[in-house]
């Protein structure tokens, strides 16, 4: 049976190195794909910035992570929303989406994949929100909603 799972938390600002992450949805399962439905960012400090989505092939060493919780139960998922790292995740490929946000507190970016199956995140891989240029990002609230077989 497929169920919706969600996780959210506040992340720190990524440093001014291209492709450093705001957050990462990591699929720690070794036997299944998860399907992203929604990934979002809200600017909580003010300041303009850029943000993009990029796939990851190695998790990195995360220091803050939030386990996904099934909407219809108290069970937790093996997929996580990673928010801070001591060693960045390994990114690969092209940018899947790319946006910029305004400077006031509160601007919201939300990528949705509710049509069809959603965006596949295969086992032992992830999807990160990254800084696509050599400019520092702004700390923010991050959330993810995905679907997985329970």
What is 37-63 written as a DSSP string? EEEEEEESS---EEEEEEEEEE--EEE
Residues 16, 134: Cα–Cα separation, whole Å:
5
Q: What is the pLDDT of residue 106?
A: 77
The second-level CATH assignment, the architecture, of 2-149 is Sandwich (2.60)
Strands 125-130 and 49-58: antiparallel
Which pLDDT band, with edges at 50, 70 and 90, does 117 fall under?
confident
Pair 23, 82: CB distance under 8 Å: yes
Is the pLDDT assigned to residue 136 strictly greater than 80? no
Average pLDDT estimate for 97-117: 85
Query: Which pLDDT band, with edges at 50, 70 and 90, does 21 fall under?
Result: very high
Query: What would the two tokens of residue 28 be?
Result: 């720690």
The band of 137, judged by pLDDT with boundaries at 50, 70 and 90, is: confident
Q: What is the pLDDT of residue 135?
A: 76
Q: Where are the domains of the chain?
A: 2-149
pLDDT of 27 strictly over 90: yes
pLDDT band for 46, please (50, 70, 90 cuts). confident
pTM over 0.85: yes
Token pair recorded at residue 147: 């679907």
Pairwise CA distance, residues 43 & 1, whole Å: 35
């Amino acid at each position: 049976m497929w169920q919706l799972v969600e996780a959210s938390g506040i992340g720190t600002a990524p440093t001014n190195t291209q492709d450093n992450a705001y957050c990462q949805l990591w699929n720690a399962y070794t036997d299944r794909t998860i399907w992203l439905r929604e990934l979002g960012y809200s600017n909580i400090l003010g300041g303009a910035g850029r943000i993009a989505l990029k796939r990851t092939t190695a998790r990195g060493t995360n220091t803050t992570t939030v386990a996904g919780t099934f909407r219809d139960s108290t069970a937790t998922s093996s997929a996580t929303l990673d928010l801070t790292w001591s060693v960045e995740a390994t990114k690969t490929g092209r940018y899947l989406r790319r946006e910029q946000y305004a400077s006031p507190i509160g601007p919201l970016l939300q990528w949705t994949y509710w049509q069809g199956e959603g965006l596949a995140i295969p086992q032992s891989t992830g999807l990160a929100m990254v800084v696509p240029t050599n400019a520092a990002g702004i700390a923010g609230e991050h959330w993810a909603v995905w679907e997985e077989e329970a």
